[in-house]
Chains A and B, each alone.
Chain A
Amino acid sequence: QVQLVQSGAEVKRPGASVKLSCKASGYTFISYHMHWVRQAPGQGLEWMGMINPNVGTTTYAQEFQGRVTMTRDTSTSTVYMELSSLRSEDTAVFYCARDPPGGLASAGSLDHWGQGTPVTVST
Chain B
Amino acid sequence: DIQMTQSPSSLSASVGDRVTITCRASQTISSYLNWYQQKPGRAPRLLIYGASSLQTGVPSRFSGSGSGTVFTLTISTLQPEDFATYYCQQSYSTPRYTFGPGTTVDIK
State the B residues within 8 Å of A (CB): 1, 32, 34, 36, 38, 43-46, 49-50, 53, 55, 87, 89, 91-92, 94-102
Contact = CB atoms under 8 A, between A and B. Distances in A.
B34 A59 contact: no
B51 to A, nearest CB: 11
B89 to A, nearest CB: 7
Interface stretch (A13-21, A39-47, A78-86): A39-47
A50 B89 CA distance: 15
Interface residues of A, number: 26
B30 to A, nearest CB: 11
Contact of B43 (A61, A106, A114): A114
Nearest to A45: B99
A59 B44 contact: no
Interface of A: 33, 35, 37, 44-47, 50, 59, 61-62, 95, 97, 99, 102, 105-111, 113-116
A97 B55 CA distance: 15
B49 to A, nearest CB: 4
A70 to B, nearest CB: 12
B55 to A, nearest CB: 7
A106 B32 CA distance: 9
